[in-house]
Each structure stands twice: as C-alpha cells, then as structure tokens.
Chain A
Amino acid sequence: MNNHHELRVRPIVNGTVIDHILAGQAINVLRILGITGVSDAVVSMVMNVPSITLGHKDIVKIENRELEEKEVDKISLISPSASINIIRDFDVVDKYHVEMPSIVEGMVKCTNPNCISNTNEPVTSKFVVRTDPIRLRCLYCEHVISEKIAEYLL
C-alpha cells in the first residue's frame, strides 16, 4: 500500500539514494555530482521532508549511477549526516554513512586570496578536517573555513 511519503520518493531500479541530507543541502549535493539542468541524468529530489533523527532532511535519488569516493567525501563536508544507499535491481545492496576524511585534497578552494594554493603554482589545495563543528584548516596558509563550505567546493 502506498502512502504519501512513498509517492514522493519512488523506488529506483538501479542507482544511488542519498538520504539524511541536511535540509537545504540537496541542491549543493547535485552541484557536487555535476548534475545540472542540461544533463540527461534521471534525478529525483525532495527537500525538507520530516525526519526522526534530523527534524527535516533532503533526499536525492540518481538513477543508473554509483558515486565515486571523492564525491562522497565532498558530500560529507556539507552534510555529515548523509547516508548512501546503492540500489541494484530494486535491492539495497550497500548502505553506509558518509565519513569525513581527515585531509581533503583538491576538493575545496582556500578562501584566502593570498594563499599559495590560489596562485599559478602547481599545487593542489589541502585542508585538515576537524569536526564538531566542521572546520577546514588550509595546510598551506592555515586559514580556516567553518561556514558556507559548499561555496568553496571545487
């Protein structure tokens, strides 16, 4: 029997369901995954649905795609609560919570315009990740990013 919630988020045959996304972050998750209005990906998104653990949450379903490790790491930075469900032939074959890496490389742009990682030097940005609350400290210039992380994702 279908209820209203199930209608909102229909099951998919193959692909990935990203659940428990912090309310309001689903659009940033799509950005991380490179899903724009012009791509042909089949994507469902619900925002601000009630959640027992989070109060409200967003959910993103992408058909026929499984995420790369780097994409999951990026999602963890903007929504540490997110969980990833891999769906194959309607079954959840793998389910896990995202885990924030201790160091992120080439994922975030340093907010300090005078940082060496923002020049033409052949270096990749590197940040040390601290949790509770999330703080990214640039390994080069030590500037800290603690809010609006999604805006600085590469």
Chain B
Amino acid sequence: MKFHRHHIISMKDFTRDEIDYILDRAGKLESLAKSGRSDILSGKILALLFYEPSTRTRMSFETAMLRLGGNVLNLGSKDTSSVIKGETLADTIRVISTYSDAIVLRHTSEGAAQMAMEFSSVPVINGGDGAGHHPTQTLLDLYTIKRESRLEHPDIAIVGDLKYGRTVHSLTYALSLYGANITFVSPQQLKMPDQIIDDLKTRGAHVNETENFDKVLNNIDVLYMTRIQKERFPDPTEYKKVANAYKITNKQLVNVRPNMIIMHPLPRINEIDSSVDNTDHARYFQQSFYGVPIRMALLTIVMGADI
C-alpha cells in the first residue's frame, strides 16, 4: 500500500493497514537506528517545538533525524524564544513551518497538534498534547509488542494510572485493532474512564477490569506498567498505599509465563523494582530504543522519502 498521511496527530486517524505499514517500515530501518548514518533525508530539516519537558521523545526524534542524514532545529527553552513575549502557538507554527520540512510539537494544551496542523505548511507530528494524544509512543509500544512478543491477540495487562495516563488511552484503542485481550489493573480512583471502556467494547475489544494486580500476573503475554503520580492523591498516605500495591519486583515473576514481557513508557519511579531489570522479562529499555526506528519510519513517511 502507499501511505499518504501528511500529519501524525492521533492514533484514531490510523487504519490497521496504515499501522502495519509503519511497523514494517520501522523494521526495515531498525539496524540503521542502532548505528550509522544514511542520506535518506539529506538536506531536510526537522523542527522540534517542545513546550513541555521531554527526554526520550525529543532525543529519539533528534537521533532518528540524524541517522537519516537530516538536520534538527530546536526551539530551545521557552524563556529564550518568542513564547515568553506572548507569541501564540499559531504564529510560531506559521513561522517555523517556513524554516523546516516537518515539525514535532509537544504542548501543554490538549488539541494543540490538531490546531498546529491547521496553521502549518509542513507536516506536524504530535509529540504529546497535554493529557491528549501521544501517537508516536503508541506506535513504538506496538512495535515493541510485535518484536518482543506477539501483536495478534495478545493477553495484555495495563497497570497503574489509567484515568489520566495519556499513553494508555491511545494504546488501548490501537490494541483493539489487533484483537488484544486487555485487562485494566488500577485503583478505583484511577480507573479507565467508562467512556473509553464503552468505546472499546463497541469496537469488539475484549476488556476486563480489576484492582487485583497479582490475579492477572500469571496469565498474560505483556505487562504494561505506568507511573502513578503522587499529585493525583490529596492524601499522601493513600498515595503510598496505592503505589505499593501496584509495584512489581522479581519475586512476583516466579509463576509468570516464561515469555511474558514487561513494558513501561518511562520514566519509572518505583513501580518496577530494579531487581526486575536483569530478568528475561524486562523490555522497557529496549522499548525506549524502539522509539528511534519508529520515529525514523514516520519522518520518512511524512517527508515522502523512499527507503
């Protein structure tokens, strides 16, 4: 198939065929992502506009662009740009799109990337908009599951903050396209919004909910951990109780499926104990690396480059 998508805003814009196309292209670029440099995007410039802190997303986009032979423009700190003078995002996008061949935007407001798309003359890639979407994270999660486990009908548990976590909403939608059997594991106050559960069921997804972490651990192919944020809890003792209940150590891995993998979008705080890092199940650092081939694939697609 030929992929013509100009902007990357939300996972909901993608068909299953389009996702497969991106994952296949990432597979072809994976060895280049590890080392070396090509001239696939030689002469092209990628602008990075990050209005919120980021380590992995920003640096993996930079790495992806450099591996493809292109160059990167960085907005830098908000304090040293026109943002501090009160310039609107719309104006910044209008200007930066005349300097570059594509823009990656991370912003604090939901819908920022959708709006940026309306003002940009070059492709916009959503690098996270508030509590909204983060499609490149979802794509690298899918790629990790494909490479390290199985993407067709996997048994997957998603654990932690399912209410506010922006990555898990997009991920569950995408997993439903692959017939995943999804179990949501969270405390009551952070459970997946009913609207999303209903939406998933309408799409024919197999969805379960539980508060009991240990109950699901031994019957899954993929354990997707997320961070529970302290600021969501008005009472610090309640936070501690919840944080401890949704933590995994190597002792809990005795009876899990031998090929079960553990993922995490990072940064982790203490929800995955460091004792898990050296087990055969840990994949979160590998997952972080897969952000590079996925973003390479997306950059070549939106800039219309063949590989």
Mark A residues whose CB is within 8 Å of B: 112, 114-117, 119-123, 138-144
Contacts and interface: CB of A to CB of B under 8 A. Distances in A.
Nearest to A146: B195
B108 A114 contact: yes
Contacts of A121: 88-90, 115
Interface string B110-139: 111011001000000000011110000000
B111 A122 contact: no
Given A122-B90, A123-B118, A116 B111 contact: yes
Given A121-B88, A122-B88, A123-B90, A114 B115 contact: no
A138 B115 CA distance: 12
B88 A141 contact: no
B109 interface: yes
A140 B130 contact: no
Given A139-B114, A141-B132, A119 B109 contact: yes
Contact of A120 (B10, B88, B115): B88
Contacts of A114: 108-110, 130-131
Contact of B115 (A112, A116, A142, A144): A116
18 contacts: A114-B109, A115-B109, A115-B110, A116-B109, A116-B111, A116-B129, A117-B115, A121-B89, A121-B90, A121-B115, A122-B90, A139-B111, A140-B114, A141-B109, A141-B130, A142-B110, A143-B110, A144-B195
A115 B111 contact: yes
A147 to B, nearest CB: 13
Given A123-B118, A141-B132, A117 B111 contact: yes
A13 B245 CA distance: 72
Contacts of B109: 114-116, 119, 141
A139 B113 CA distance: 11
A142 B88 contact: no
- Which one of B110, B115, B132 has the highest number of Cβ atoms from chain A below 10 Å of its Cβ? B110
Nearest to B116: A116
Contacts of A119: 109
Given A114-B131, A142-B110, A144-B195, 4 more contacts: A114-B110, A116-B111, A117-B111, A142-B132
Contacts of B115: 116-117, 121, 123, 140
Contacts of B131: 114
Contact of B111 (A120, A140, A144): A140
B152 to A, nearest CB: 28
B190 to A, nearest CB: 18
- Which one of A122, A138, A141 has the highest number of Cβ atoms from chain B below 10 Å of its Cβ? A141
A151 B299 CA distance: 43
B112 A116 contact: yes
A116 B132 CA distance: 11
Contacts of A115: 109-111
A141 B129 CA distance: 9
